[in-house]
A = this chain, B = another copy of it.
């Protein structure tokens, strides 16, 4: 994988933590200096490694929000 430069602008939520300390987080992240995007992924303790995840535009995040209305 190519080297990625990223800057975590805001941590919106920590959804869970595994026994080994990995956390699943929703962050607002700027990748390679570009405009920040929402990002949902697993992180190792102290952000030493990142797991697989998805980035979301604000529009996608708002659609996701709407779709979660039905989940109780």
Contacts and interface: CB of A to CB of B under 8 A. Distances in A.
A29 interface: no
Interface string A20-54: 00001010000000000000111000000001111
Contacts of A13: 63-64, 66-67
How many copies of this chain sit in the oligomeric assembly? 2
27 contacts: A12-B67, A12-B70, A13-B63, A13-B66, A13-B67, A15-B60, A15-B63, A15-B67, A16-B57, A16-B59, A16-B60, A16-B63, A24-B54, A24-B56, A24-B60, A40-B40, A40-B54, A41-B54, A42-B54, A52-B52, A54-B54, A58-B71, A61-B68, A64-B68, A65-B68, A65-B71, A68-B68
